Amino acid sequence: MRHLKKGRKFGLITGRRKSFLRILIHNLVMKGSIKTTEARAKEIRPRVEKLVTLAKKNDLAALKLLTERMPKTSAYKLYHEIAPRYKDRSGGYLRIKKTTNTRVRDGVLQVIIEFV
């Protein structure tokens, strides 16, 4: 039974998995949208939405927490540029669009995850 076992492992040990997800989040924030697999997109979506909600608080403590959880450049961009756009929105900051493209080496379906 898989009680209390949430999240995907991606075949990585804990430290490498955290680093991998942090890099994915950084790329999403810096570029606005990225093309990735469906599993990866579904894994980072709630994490990024929580970070946007934190950035919407617009205080120093929120900025410090963001810089702890992601690289400094993406934390500042999220805090100063992205979060003010969603000031009146209560959630649902990201969209996952399925595409018909597959990855060449293993045939996994690709999706585009982007800010609304």
Q: Is residue 94 over pLDDT 90?
A: yes
pLDDT of residue 62: 97
- What does the H/E/C string look like for 45-100? HHHHHHHHHHHCCCCHHHHHHHHHHCCHHHHHHHHHHHHHHHCCCCCCCEEEEEEE
pLDDT in tens, 2-36: 898 889 999 999 999 999 999 999 999 999 999 99
CATH topology of domain 33-115: 50s Ribosomal Protein L17; Chain: A, (3.90.1030)
Question: Tell me: the pLDDT tens digits for 46-59?
Answer: 999 999 999 999 99
What pTM does this model have? 0.92
pLDDT at 68 over 90: yes
